[in-house]
Structure 1
Amino acid sequence: MVAFSGSGDSKQATNAYKDKSKPAEIRKSNISAAKAVADAIRTSLGPKGMDKMIQSANGEVAITNDGATILKQMNVIHPAAKMLVELSNAQDVEAGDGTTSVVVIAGALLEASEKLLQKGIHPTGISDGFQKAAAKSIEIIKNMATPILLTDRESLVKSASTALNSKVVSQQSSLLAPLAVDAVLKVVDPAKDTNVDLKDIKVIKKLGGTVEDTKLVDGLVFTQKSSNVNGPRKIEKAKIGLIQFCISPPKTD
């Protein structure tokens, strides 16, 4: 006579039941972590958004309301929260603005998702709904948008001034907005270019002076000191040699 024990099957059934709850717990943990990141910069959004004072590990203090800058200084460990930081960085690279908005919107969508999940709606259905809503939103925004040509400098300056209204330097927007537009127009061809590579524009910080001393240089600026006190400070139509080898004296071992 052979007897079979049912305890093993019972254990497997119990483990299978427990495993079903794990995905829900993981989703809840991910949503909570992402919402925490969104809540951290929510108060920096909009014209009445507050600036944040951030102290880095080396003691340097920065005051900003830029979402990407704030998130870069945060020590984010949770993988889901890191995705929102990467989202903000991607927005900064692609558009140069909206770094706070994109994180706050993502946090709001996740909060709405959490409520739908609690009602028993499957994650795939929620994802499909977001995809349809995104497509419809893009359609509406395109219909509302006013096309601007790169040759229309006045409209570009107005757009730049609007973007500066929420920044610390908003009072100097009448000076900085035209400078920013002129800098962009110097590195693009308005007839064919639609995107701007910001790496083609170099911003150099100099100690002393004020924001009003900011100026645009159509050329190259060297931050090194001149080898001679009486040496030239500005050269126009200069001949520049590109050398692919080191011309400094060789170092001894």
Structure 2
Amino acid sequence: DIQARHTYTDTKRRDDVRMANINSARSVADTVRTSLGPKGMDKMISSPNGDVIITNDGATILNKMEVLQPAAKMLVDLSKSQDAAAGDGTTTVVVLAGALLRRSSNLLTAGIHPTAVADSLHKFSTRAVDILQTMAVPVELSDRDSLIKSAATSLNSKVVSQYSSLLAPLAVDAVLSVVDPDHPDLVDLRDVKIVKKLGGTVDDTELVKGLVFDKKASHSAGGPTRIENAKIAVIQFQISPPKTDIEQSITGFPDYTQMDRILREERNYILGMGE
């Protein structure tokens, strides 16, 4: 009897922990499930600092959620990985993971070992990838029309779906302008900068193939505010008059001509730096 007590193993707690992890992950999937597809609903998210965000993007929704449970955080990380790898499908991948977890919980309840379930899912994923590759239609970078159709499809489930005919060509042209033809899969989206300005409408959106400086022109300097075919110098140091190593203050000048002379010398010094 004593030996029997020592060999007894309580599996109920282990099963309870496993089901708790599955349910926590499924709750995350259920949160974004209603935002999937062209008829998906937007989510209104209120941040701790009072900002309100309205979106149906899975990566944005999950990124703003304060998820503490480890298994649920794995789905959040899954969405981030999908966003980094493909830039789309963040909601789909989480919903699919939640559906697989739901089916897996039924198998575990029926007494099937977790290792057998995991091995079956791995075989299923390998087979699914093979099937999808046979269904895929290759698209060349030179086929701009097909790229625009793909971009418009992604925009159809967004708030700006009515502007897909305007935004899809802009998005395609922006990516094509920074993509390396030799390595089309390695597109760094940080090379495409989005500058937001208050006022106007979505119809005012335009693509600038160059640099956009979000700075106001210095009218007080007296220089021109518009130059065509200009030569622009990009420097990595500050353009300013030299400063002394010790703190000094100017108390006054005998006459205004000395002050003008100092200002002229500072201006000539700066002009000399640019020559």
The two structures have a TM-score, normalised by structure 2, of 0.82
Instruction: Name the aligned partner's letter for residue 24 of structure 1.
Output: D
Q: Does the 8 Å contact 2:29/2:94 carry over to 1?
A: yes
Is structure 2 residue 225 aligned with structure 1 residue 232? yes
Aligned to 2:265: none
What percent identity do the matched residue pairs reach? 56
CA contact (8 A) 2:180 2:187 kept: no
Alignment-mate amino acid for residue 209 of structure 2: D
Which structure has the larger Rg?
2
Aligned to 2:12: 21
Alignment of 1:67-216 (within 5 A): 67-216=58-207
Q: CA offset at residue 197 of structure 1?
A: 1.2
Change (3 A) 1:44 1:219: same
SS at match of 1:53: strand
Work out whether residues 33 and 80 of structure 1, in 8 Å CA contact, stay in contact via their aligned partners in 2: yes
CA distance in 2, matches of 1:238, 1:208: 30
Distance change in 2, residues 1:241/1:119 (3 Å): same
Contact persistence 1:88–1:103 (CA under 8 A) = yes
Task: Give how far 1:21 is off.
Answer: 2.9
Task: Label 1:155 to 1:24 Cα distance change in 2 as closer, same or farther (>3 A).
Answer: same
**Residues 111-138 of structure 1: CA deviation (Å, up to 9, x unaligned):** 1111111111111111111111111111
Partner AA of 1:109 in structure 2: L
- The one of 30, 37, 48 equivalent to 2:39 is 48
Which stretch has the larger CA shift, 224-233 or 158-167? 224-233
Give CA-to-partner distance per residue, 1:188-216, whole Å, 9 cap, x none: 13354223111111111100000000000
Tell me the CA shift for residue 17 of structure 1. Answer: 2.0
In structure 2, relative to structure 1, the CA distance for the partners of 1:227 and 1:25 (3 Å cut) is same
- Partners of 1:24 and 1:171 lie apart in 2 by 49
Cα separation, partners in 2 of 1:227 and 1:130, compared to 1, 3 Å? same
Aligned length: 243
Amino acid at match of 2:98: G
Distance of aligned partners of 1:107 and 1:236 in 2 relative to their CA distance in 1, 3 Å threshold: farther
TM score, norm. by length of structure 1: 0.88
Aligned to 2:256: none
The Cα of 1:64 is off from its aligned counterpart by: 0.8
Q: Tell me the CA shift for residue 149 of structure 1.
A: 0.4
2:32 counterpart of 1:32: no
**Any gaps of 5 or more consecutive residues in structure 2?**
248-275
Shift of 1:12: 4.1
CA 1:226–1:79: 2 relative to 1, 3 Å? same
1:51-81 deviations in whole A, cap 9, x for unaligned? 1111111211111111111111111110111
Q: Give unmatched runs, 5+ long, in structure 1.
A: 1-5
Supply the AA of the counterpart residue of 2:9.
Y
Rounded to whole Å, the distance in 2 between the matches of 1:223 and 1:108 is 45
CA RMSD of aligned residues (A): 2.2
Deviation at 1:174, TM superposition (A): 0.6
